Structure 1
Amino acid sequence: MTARADRRDDQPGLRRASVHWAGVRWGLLAALVCAYVGSFLFSDLLTRDSNGMPSLWPMNAILAAGLLRMDPLGRRLLLGIALVTNLAVHALAGDPWFVIGVYTACDMTESLAAAALTRRLRGPRPSIRSVRHALVLVAAMLPITISVAAIGSSVAAPVAGAQLWPFFTAWAACNSMGMIIALPAALVILDPTNDEAFRRPPAAQVGLYALVAAATAFAFLKPSTPMPFLIFPAAMLAAFQLGPRGAAWSAVVVIAVTAPLTIVGDGVARIAPRWAEVDRIRMVQAFVTTIFFTCLAAALSLYKEQRLKGLMARRSAAARAARARAQAAGRARTDFLATMSHEIRTPLNSVLGFANLLAETEDGLTPAGRRKLELIAQAGGSLATIVDDILDFSRLEAGRVELRPEAVDPAALLADAASIIALDAQAKGLSLSVEADLPGGLDYALDPARLRQVLLNLLNNAVKFTAGGSVRASVRLEAPYPGGPERLRFTIADTGIGIAPEVQGRLFQRFSQADGSISRAFGGAGLGLAISKTLVTRMGGEIGVDSAPGRGATFWFTTPAEPVCAADGPPAEQEAAARVLLVDDHPMNRELGAAMLILAGCAVETAEDGDEAVRIAARGDFDVILMDIHMPRMDGLAAARAIKALPGPASRAPIIALSADVMPQQIERCRQAGMVDHVAKPIQRDVLIAALNRWLGAETEAA
């Protein structure tokens, strides 16, 4: 029922489209018939020479163009009308019926052959897009017109009582000149796409063509000396304003004015009064051909420029739209990563925090219970590592990671990274050694955080994929080529499962591991090495691996070695002892944070949202405020601004963001709200205490 209703609903639109096409078809047919019959009457009755051969013959080109543009029904009607017109007008001119038959057969054959060849050269809907197209078309038509003239004149000349050679040359000249001008012009006029870049109001079009007609009439009717060169500026103006179609119609206007003037003895007759009328007509055709192709060349060049501008505009618009979509996709990805990171880190904070607190504070745990806590902490740590890897890789791809070089002792940094994974190596029974071959007393300009991240990635992989044996970490200076700058070369070698040569090239690609079973056997998202490669490349170094199955793997990377003067080291960190306001809407986070701070010797007060935090902070008796970001009623950013606006000492307490929001733009918003530091969830106790010590020391110095 619905399908039938849809078809009924569509029928009015189909009928309207059919009526519109019918109107276009019959209008085009009427225009072609008028042009064909009118030019036939003028040429056959008014331009014949002494042999009875017309001097102007554009009808075959008009018929060929119509056959190319009409539908099958229109072509049949046009051929029928052309046949009747041939027979009737030739009879009216007094030609013998045999000659009429020859003329008609030759004209119809020439038109059909010209249409077929044009379709083969320019496709089923031929168009003229360059002067080269027009010249190729003209060159292709000449053999047809000359061949038809040769056959027709050899048959008709004896019957018409004319000499063969003059009869043939007159026939070939009139048909060739007519085809050279009329076929390209007709194809340009009948091409609807030529209006796309040259749309002008009808009044402007009529005015331009009237200007061409007036210039033509004035140039040839001037009493003293005709000045045909005056036609060129007017025709060129029409071509520039109206495009290729303007050039074609200008040629039609010029020949429509000059041909009758020549017949009545004006125009060209004044320029060459001793010439025969047929020669004057041919001169008119040559003149119009020159105007047409000159103006057509200019119009087509302008048309091509307009099309290129339109294409560039469309491509620019498409590029802007694609850039907007990419930016929207990037924002959506960033928002998704930020949301998922926050949602994962919030419960993970409680899991890891309470597991560590239990391990540190509960002395009565059985060995089995302590082992279970260790497994919980390991699983949570693995999940936190995966989340950090995904966020790091996203930041690296977006170009949001900046290196912050400072004076670093590479040997100490390598030893520090090795100490972090030492417990994991010990748990697997692996020996872990660190070697350094560096000049004493020198530090180098390195980003310690990013360098440590690369080292931990490689060391963790070495421990993960080594079931027994050893892991060796080393750093040394090397010169990549004689006389070249020195570089630091870090090497992590293990005695693990090894890597096949054919898969080593995939190791540094994102989400890639040696084979699909690796992730099941050892875990991981396959991002650590991709992140390491990107970071090492940003540092200006290289990274690679040497390995074979069953023979372990040796990962290495280099960085530029730029010695710097070592700055005085910071004083040794000590456990924080301060009055702390802890703000978090999640009860477990408040309990966990308070427990960590109390263990560090801090006096802790809690608030469950920003509004309560502002009221409590107004007392002005806190050394540090730890602020969550996402809270009801008043979020952490608004609370930080409100606290900084408080009078007196309350506004001077440093506010540290304590949040699962870890994207760079999120951290920047915290700083803009007045927060001085950021500690990411899941909270690591040593990181939290280091942040407290850092800002408690700053407050002490300021005081």
Structure 2
Amino acid sequence: QQVERLDKIDGASRHLLTIINDILDLSKIESGKLVLETTDFYLSSVLDNIDSIIGESARDKGLQVEIDRGDVPPLLRGDPTRLRQALLNYAANAIKFTDQGKVSLSARLLEDNGSDFLVRFEVRDTGIGISPERANKLFQVFEQADTSITRKYGGTGLGLAITRKLANMMGGEVGVDSEVGQGSTFWFTARLQRGQDSSASTYGTSVLSDAESQLKLNHSGAKILLADDSAINREVAVEMLRNAGLILDTVADGVEAIGRVKQQKYDLVLMDMFMPNMGGIEATQLIRTLPDYEKTPIIAMTANAFDEDRSACFNAGMNDFIAKPVEPKLFYTTLLKWLPVKHIASGD
């Protein structure tokens, strides 16, 4: 009974956090404080990441998830974090409102102007569907198909409004095609540039494997500390760095991080911004006062990718910033940038 109550508390807390994050995102967009990032990224990384996020929920419901990159160039330039957010809002809703069948994520090239593209992204489900008169209101703030939807499925009515605003910022628009009892197709368009990483292969594997091989060649055995309160994030990081020949220790908050760096010397520290007991900003400031850590690279890893968040990290003494979800190529190349050619950790 206690476990059941804790599960309910956890579920309610996560729901509240979702509401708060949605409101914060919406307010930053409407106040003009959200600035889109411009960086090279692989579309497959964005789609695969969404697949990994919704995969467990889909399996729990017996749903099949399909991903189709279509004819869109693999290497693009834009804001992968906000593109992922817009798509994830659609995908999460599709899983929520579908009890049987499948959910499909796809991308399709609408315009190719040489240096830039107009891409249409779709999330199709076999769920409950929506009547035309209700579908017209869905992209308004705090709107859902009807009040019974909120009671049965939950939600804030903000996710679709955020996707609409993000799509508008990316030079696109949104829409939905739906039939009650048959399912829905939610779509948005976005203008993206052609990726400029000339060393990338068609699917980016050569750049990724090259970064991994350089880490193995020049930094094998380097010691890295990761502070992150998410067990899933820690597990993913362990696998990624182990594949690159690096040694990773993990802790769940800033207090543990400080205790660990006092015990041994690390070549690099990966720090989440927001953690229980002590966050990454305060932990970094304290680590910088330790004799052996005045110049040790400290890299922020957080989903908070706003300009003010970056500034707070740099002001605290961090050297660089990686936005979550972590794109492997960017992750590895950032480590290559900051790890010394010959790692200096000398043991426990």
Decide: shared fold, TM above 0.5: yes
2:345 is aligned to none
Question: Which deviations, in whole Å up to 9, do the C-alpha atoms of 1:665-701 show, x marking residues without a partner?
Answer: 3552232121235689xxx9x86x9999676543434
Between the aligned partners of 1:456 and 1:500, the Cα distance in structure 2 is 23
Contact 1:624–1:692 (8 Å) recurs in 2: no
Deviation at residue 533 of structure 1 after TM alignment: 0.5
1:670 is aligned to 313
Structure 1: give runs of 5+ residues left out of the alignment: 1-369
Question: Which deviations, in whole Å up to 9, do the C-alpha atoms of 1:47-78 show, x marking residues without a partner?
Answer: xxxxxxxxxxxxxxxxxxxxxxxxxxxxxxxx
1:449 to 81, 100, 108: 81
Deviation at residue 581 of structure 1 after TM alignment: 8.6
Classify the secondary structure of the residue corresponding to 2:156. Answer: coil
Between the aligned partners of 1:590 and 1:496, the Cα distance in structure 2 is 31
Contact 1:640–1:673 (8 Å) recurs in 2: yes
Deviation at residue 371 of structure 1 after TM alignment: 11
Q: Which moved more, 1:621-630 or 1:486-495?
A: 621-630
Question: Which deviations, in whole Å up to 9, do the C-alpha atoms of 1:369-397 show, x marking residues without a partner?
Answer: x9999998877655544443232222212
Contact 1:475–1:488 (8 Å) recurs in 2: yes
Q: Counterpart of 2:223 in structure 1: which amino acid?
A: A
Superposition map of 1:332-371 within 5 A: none
Contact 1:576–1:693 (8 Å) recurs in 2: no
Deviation at residue 529 of structure 1 after TM alignment: 0.5
Between the aligned partners of 2:37 and 2:279, the Cα distance in structure 1 is 31
Question: Which deviations, in whole Å up to 9, do the C-alpha atoms of 1:93-151 show, x marking residues without a partner?
Answer: xxxxxxxxxxxxxxxxxxxxxxxxxxxxxxxxxxxxxxxxxxxxxxxxxxxxxxxxxxx
The alignment status of 1:623 with 2:259, answered yes or no, reads no
Classify the secondary structure of the residue corresponding to 1:432. Answer: strand
Contact 2:123–2:185 (8 Å) recurs in 1: yes
Classify the secondary structure of the residue corresponding to 2:77. Answer: strand
| Structure with the larger strand share | 2
Deviation at residue 454 of structure 1 after TM alignment: 1.1
Between the aligned partners of 2:163 and 2:53, the Cα distance in structure 1 is 18
* Percent of pairs with identical residues: 34
Q: Counterpart of 2:87 in structure 1: which amino acid?
A: L
The alignment status of 1:405 with 2:38, answered yes or no, reads yes
Deviation at residue 504 of structure 1 after TM alignment: 1.8
Q: 1:631 to 1:702 in 2, by over 3 A?
A: same
Q: Counterpart of 1:676 in structure 2: which amino acid?
A: N
Between the aligned partners of 2:158 and 2:8, the Cα distance in structure 1 is 23
Q: Counterpart of 1:404 in structure 2: which amino acid?
A: E
Q: Counterpart of 2:110 in structure 1: which amino acid?
A: E
Contact 1:495–1:553 (8 Å) recurs in 2: yes
Structure of greater relative contact order (alpha carbons < 8 Å, 6+ residues apart) = 2
2:101 to 469, 479, 500: 469
Q: 1:446 to 1:669 in 2, by over 3 A?
A: closer
Between the aligned partners of 1:658 and 1:411, the Cα distance in structure 2 is 21
Q: 1:652 to 1:388 in 2, by over 3 A?
A: same
The alignment status of 1:497 with 2:128, answered yes or no, reads yes
Deviation at residue 540 of structure 1 after TM alignment: 0.2
The alignment status of 1:516 with 2:160, answered yes or no, reads no
Deviation at residue 526 of structure 1 after TM alignment: 1.2
Contact 1:629–1:657 (8 Å) recurs in 2: no
Which entry has the higher C-alpha Rg, 1 or 2? 1
Classify the secondary structure of the residue corresponding to 2:294. Answer: helix
Between the aligned partners of 1:412 and 1:397, the Cα distance in structure 2 is 28
1:392 is aligned to 25
Deviation at residue 465 of structure 1 after TM alignment: 0.7
Contact 2:76–2:195 (8 Å) recurs in 1: yes
Deviation at residue 590 of structure 1 after TM alignment: 12
RMSD: 5.0
Contact 2:297–2:339 (8 Å) recurs in 1: no
Contact 2:109–2:118 (8 Å) recurs in 1: yes
The alignment status of 1:424 with 2:57, answered yes or no, reads yes
Question: Which deviations, in whole Å up to 9, do the C-alpha atoms of 1:266-294 show, x marking residues without a partner?
Answer: xxxxxxxxxxxxxxxxxxxxxxxxxxxxx
Deviation at residue 555 of structure 1 after TM alignment: 0.9
Q: Counterpart of 1:515 in structure 2: which amino acid?
A: D
Deviation at residue 546 of structure 1 after TM alignment: 1.3
Aligned length: 317
Question: Which deviations, in whole Å up to 9, do the C-alpha atoms of 1:20-52 show, x marking residues without a partner?
Answer: xxxxxxxxxxxxxxxxxxxxxxxxxxxxxxxxx
Contact 2:226–2:234 (8 Å) recurs in 1: no
Contact 2:253–2:279 (8 Å) recurs in 1: no
Question: Which deviations, in whole Å up to 9, do the C-alpha atoms of 1:520-574 show, x marking residues without a partner?
Answer: 1111111110110010000000111112322311111111253334453343599
1:534 is aligned to 165
Classify the secondary structure of the residue corresponding to 1:456. Answer: helix
